[in-house]
C-alpha cells in the first residue's frame, strides 16, 4: 500500500491515458506512410489492433485508423512523426517519474536528459513494434510462398493467422518487462519485474474482455451520441490500462522491498551527485 500511495497510481494513470490519446492518431499517420515502403497493408495493423482492444473501441477506431493508414504524404508524415514523438516521449517521461516514486528514488531528474532518455526508449518501443508487425506481415506472405513450393497443408497458414492472440500476449509481456526493468532509476531485479509484467499482461487481457462485455451493454443505451459514448469508453479503457501498468510497477517495488529490503538507487553518469 505504501508503494501504491508513493506512485500516485490514479493520477499517473490519468496522465498516461492523456498522452496515449494524443499519440494514437499521429502515430497511425506515421505508420500509414511507412507501410507501403515495407510491402505491408492496413489489414496487418488492424489485425493486431482488433486482438488487443475491446470490440466496441475497435469499431470506433477502425474507420479513422483505416483512413489514416490508407493515405499518406510527406508533410503529414513529418507532422505526425513530430507530434507522435513529443506526446509519446512525454508519456514515457511521466511513467518514469511515477515508477521512480513507487521505488522511492524520485530525485536527480534532469529535465533535458530525462527527455532524451524518454526519446531513446520511444525508439526501442517503435523498433520492437515494427519487428512484431513486420514479422507477422511478411511471415504470412512467406508461408503462402512456401505452400506453393512445398505443397504442405493450407491449414498451417490458417493456424499461423490464428496465433495473433499469443503473439499479442507475448509482445505486451516483453514491452512491459523492458519498461519495468530499464526505465526506473532503481536497481531492480528481473525476477520481480517479470512477475509484475506477467500479472499486468494477464489482468490487461482479462480487463479488455470484461470491458468488451460492459461496453457492448453500454452501447445499446447510446443513440444520438454514439460517437461521444465510444470516445468516453476509449478514455475509460485507456485510464484502466494506465492504472494496470502503474499497479504492476508498485507490485514490482513491493516484492523487491519485501524480499530484499531497501531498494538501491541506480544513477547514471549524468545523475551522479557531488559528495559533500
Q: What's the CA angle centered on 230, arms 224 and 231, to 5 degrees?
A: 110
The series of mean pLDDT values per 10 residues for the chain, 276 residues long, is 69 81 69 61 66 66 68 58 72 80 70 65 64 57 65 70 72 85 82 89 81 62 58 79 87 85 67 48
pLDDT of residue 157: 65
pLDDT of residue 198: 92
What distance in Å separates the CA atoms of residue 132 and residue 129, rounded to the nearest whole number?
5
pLDDT of residue 189: 86
What distance in Å separates the CA atoms of residue 71 and residue 103, rounded to the nearest whole number?
44
Q: Hey, what's the cell of 242? A: 494506465
- SS3 call for 186: strand
> Which spans in the chain are helix H?
2-7, 9-38, 42-52, 55-70, 74-103, 111-150, 155-161, 164-182, 190-219, 226-260
Contact assessment for residue 100 and residue 7, using Cβ atoms and an 8 Å cutoff: no
pLDDT in tens, 161-179: 666 677 778 878 888 888 8
What distance in Å separates the CA atoms of residue 268 and residue 272, rounded to the nearest whole number?
7
pLDDT of residue 274: 44
Whole-prediction pTM value? 0.69
How many of the other CB atoms lie within 10 Å of CB of 59?
Answer: 15
pLDDT in tens, 126-152: 666 656 655 555 556 556 666 667 676
Q: How far apart are the first and last CA of the chain?
A: 34
DSSP state of 275: P
CA distances from 220 to 92, 212, 215, 234 (A): 36, 13, 9, 16
pLDDT of residue 199: 92
How many of the other CB atoms lie within 10 Å of CB of 34?
Answer: 16
Amino acid at each position: 500500500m505504501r508503494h501504491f500511495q508513493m506512485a500516485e497510481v490514479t493520477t499517473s494513470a490519468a496522465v498516461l491515458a492523456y498522452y496515449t490519446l494524443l499519440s494514437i492518431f499521429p502515430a497511425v499517420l506515421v505508420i500509414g506512410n511507412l507501410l507501403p515502403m515495407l510491402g505491408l497493408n492496413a489489414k496487418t495493423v488492424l489485425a493486431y489492433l482488433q486482438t488487443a482492444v475491446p470490440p466496441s473501441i475497435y469499431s470506433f477506431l477502425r474507420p479513422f485508423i483505416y483512413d489514416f493508414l490508407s493515405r499518406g504524404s510527406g508533410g503529414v508524415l513529418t507532422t505526425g512523426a513530430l507530434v507522435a514523438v513529443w506526446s509519446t516521449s512525454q508519456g514515457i517521461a511521466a511513467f518514469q517519474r511515477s515508477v521512480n516514486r513507487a521505488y522511492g528514488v524520485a530525485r536527480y531528474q534532469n529535465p533535458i536528459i530525462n527527455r532524451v532518455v524518454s526519446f531513446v526508449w520511444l525508439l526501442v518501443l517503435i523498433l520492437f513494434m515494427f519487428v512484431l508487425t513486420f514479422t507477422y506481415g511478411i511471415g504470412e506472405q512467406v508461408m503462402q510462398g512456401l505452400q506453393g513450393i512445398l505443397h504442405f497443408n493450407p491449414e498451417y497458414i490458417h493456424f499461423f493467422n490464428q496465433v495473433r492472440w499469443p503473439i499479442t500476449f507475448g509482445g505486451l509481456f516483453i514491452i512491459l518487462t523492458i519498461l519495468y526493468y530499464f526505465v526506473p532509476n532503481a536497481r531492480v531485479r528481473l525476477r520481480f519485474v517479470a512477475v509484475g509484467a506477467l500479472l499486468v499482461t494477464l489482468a490487461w487481457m482479462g480487463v479488455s474482455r470484461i470491458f468488451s462485455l460492459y461496453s457492448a451493454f453500454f452501447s445499446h443505451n447510446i443513440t444520438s451520441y454514439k460517437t461521444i459514448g465510444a470516445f468516453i469508453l476509449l478514455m475509460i479503457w485507456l485510464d484502466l490500462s494506465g492504472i494496470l501498468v502503474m499497479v504492476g510497477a508498485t507490485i514490482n517495488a513491493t516484492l523487491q522491498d519485501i524480499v530484499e529490503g531497501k531498494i538501491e538507487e541506480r544513477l547514471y553518469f549524468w545523475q551522479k551527485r557531488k559528495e559533500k
